[in-house]
Structure formats: C-alpha cells, structure tokens
Amino acid sequence: MKVIHAKDYNDMSRKAANIISAQVILKPNSVLGLATGTTPIGAYHQLIDWFKKGDIDFSQVSTYNLDEYRGLSHDDPQSYHHFMRENFFDHININVANTHVPDGSNPNAEEACSEYDKIVAAAGYPDLQLLGIGNNGHIGFNEPDDHFSKGTHCVNLTESTIQANSRLFDRIEDVPRQAYTMGVQTIMYARMILVIASGAAKAQAVHDMCAGPVTPSCPASILQLHTNCVVVADEEALALL
C-alpha cells in the first residue's frame, strides 16, 4: 500500500485525477470503477477541466460504479445514476451506454445484484477502482461486519452511514436504509485501487485501513493485501498515521 500525502482537499483531488488520467491516457479503453459521495467530486471536476482542454479522451472508456441506493429510480435526484451524470458523465465524451450503475430501481435484490456481477465480470473487472472510505471504514457500502463480502449484494446501512449521507438529503428520514453494493471480493479483483480521503473525520478510518489489523470490522483494512493500492489523503485525514 502506497500512501501519497496531499496538502488539502484540492491537492488531493488533483493528485487523484492525475492518476486516473494517466490510466486513461496509457490505456484509452480502460475499465474504470467509480465512486460517489462528496469526496470524489473534486477529482471528477478536475478531469472535466482536462477533457475540455483536450488533454484526455473518454470516448473508449467504460465505467462501473460501486453502489446505488435501493428503491430509487435512475432519474431520482438522489440516485447515484443522477449523481454521476450531474458531476461527471454529462460533461465528458463518454458513451453513456458504456456507463454502469447497479439498478436500485429493481426491487428484486437477488436479480439486481446477480445481473451486476455478470456485467462487471464480463468487462474483466476494473483496471482502476476509485474508492472513498467511510468514517467507519466502509468501502462502497460494505459496512463493518463479521466477514468480508464477496459479490454484489443488498446491505442495510448503518446509522453512522445514514447520518453521514443525510447532508445530501432534505431530511434524514429521506435517506434510503438499503443499498446494492459491489462486494469486497469484487473490489479486490481490480488491477489497481485508488483510495481518496479528506478531513479529520476520516483520520481514524485511514489509520485503521493502513496500519490496523486486517479485519471485517474495518472493511477497508483488506486493501493492505492488494498488490497495487494507492491512498491519496490530505493532512487532516493522515493525522493519525
């Protein structure tokens, strides 16, 4: 696990975008695993800026997002389908048919998760998987547990995750209580993993991910076992390392 020190959120975003852009420039038909939430927005906006300047071409790229809330339609403003269009896809030259997000609108969890596993496997798994990290050490929506998950599955979100995500909703009651998420094993199949973290609230999780024991009580800790994992975090997030 390689840890790259960033000065602040903007510096973290630029450094992460540099790594992602290098992947796409070196392999124009890259398979990218993407994340949502507030942390990657700066990196996405930097990539958009470079695209507009002609520095990067996404026309051959395919993407596979980590997760989606269960019960939200693709057009719901709080869905991750909508998030990715608003913050990234609508501003670059990616073929929308090559963008994939779990189908949260499908009430049949087993079917939705099985279908997503099939398309991710058919793509050969990501060349680069972008991850944020939750305050409790979750990656994707893989919450602390007594075991590491395998494929895409339906999860009950913890109260801490619901609280953290409530900032994006009008009321905490509106935050979905379940989500479909790629499993930890699927994430580990990526050839490179890029984790980004910013802010003091992430410091304990970043410490446990990088230096704590490998345990499903901190799902991100398994990344210590990946052969090509890079962490880009700012000073506050690295305070305990």
What is the domain-level CATH number for residue 160? Answer: 3.40.50.1360
Q: How far is CA 167 from CA 24, 71, 211, in A?
A: 32, 19, 29
The edge-to-edge listing of strands for the beta sheet with 67-69 is 67-69, 178-181, 153-156
138 noted as active-site residue: yes
**CA gap 107, 123 in Å, rounded:** 25
**CA gap 241, 235 in Å, rounded:** 10
Residue 238 lies in a domain: no
Identify the active-site residue in 68, 117, 127, 136.
Answer: 136
Q: How many independent structural domains does the chain possess?
A: 1
Residue 212 lies in a domain: yes
Q: Which amino acid is at 40?
A: P
pLDDT in tens, 40-89: 999 999 999 999 999 999 999 999 999 999 988 899 888 999 999 999 99
DSSP, collapsed to helix, strand or coil, labels residue 192 as: coil
67 noted as active-site residue: yes
Task: Report residue 174's pLDDT band, with 50, 70 and 90 as the boundaries.
Answer: confident
pLDDT in tens, 110-138: 999 999 999 999 999 999 999 999 999 99
Residue 239 lies in a domain: no
Backbone angles phi, psi at 229, to 5 degrees: -115, 125
Residue 241 lies in a domain: no
The pTM assigned to this predicted structure is: 0.94
Task: Report residue 165's pLDDT band, with 50, 70 and 90 as the boundaries.
Answer: confident
Q: Which domain holds residue 52?
A: 2-201+208-230
145 noted as active-site residue: no
136 noted as active-site residue: yes
